[in-house]
Amino acid sequence: QQQTTLQAFREEFNEQRSHEALGRQTPASVYQPSRRRYSPVLRPIEYNVDQAVRNVRHNGEIKWQGHLIYISGLLARHRVGLQEVENDRVEVRYSTHLLGHINLKTARLEPACEWHAGE
């Protein structure tokens, strides 16, 4: 019952109802499939030769200069690139995205930006 109702709505929405944002055309009449082929397998991230690469452990930490430094649990089992930018700071990147800087005096990651939960 629910699947039949959803299918009827989808057909009306995409094939019968015109949309103002599409110049009063239906979505089905303007749809074009992408020329790029979808691949469920991601290509490995490559880092520059001047970056040291570290694997993020299952608990979100990396080892750098004898210290265990928490990066993010979300990056567990991924690789990050590190590059010294100052005597006591190391830039941490995931692909091209700056995650923050490791302060070598405190052996802690200083995030590139602050994240706040929605209210």
Q: Are residues 56 and 28 in the same domain?
A: no
Q: Are residues 63 and 17 in the same domain?
A: no
75 in a structural domain: yes
Each residue's pLDDT tens digit, 50-105: 999 999 999 999 999 999 999 999 999 999 999 999 889 999 999 999 999 999 99
- Where does the pLDDT of residue 117 fall: very low under 50, low under 70, confident under 90, or very high at 90 and above? low
DSSP notation for the chain: -HHHHHHHHHHIIIIIS-BGGGTSB-HHHH----SSPP-SSPPPP---TTSEEEEPPTTSEEEETTEEEE--GGGTT-EEEEEEEETTEEEEEETTEEEEEEETTTTEEEESS------
Structural contact between residues 80 and 99, judged by C-beta atoms closer than 8 angstroms: yes
11 in a structural domain: yes
83 in a structural domain: yes
Side-chain-side CA neighbours of 27 within 13 Å: the count stands at: 8
| Residue-level pLDDT at 119 | 56
Number of domains in the chain: 2
42 in a structural domain: no
Beta bridge partners of 81: 53, 93
Q: Are residues 56 and 105 in the same domain?
A: yes
Q: Are residues 26 and 71 in the same domain?
A: no
44 in a structural domain: no
Domain range for 15 is: 1-32
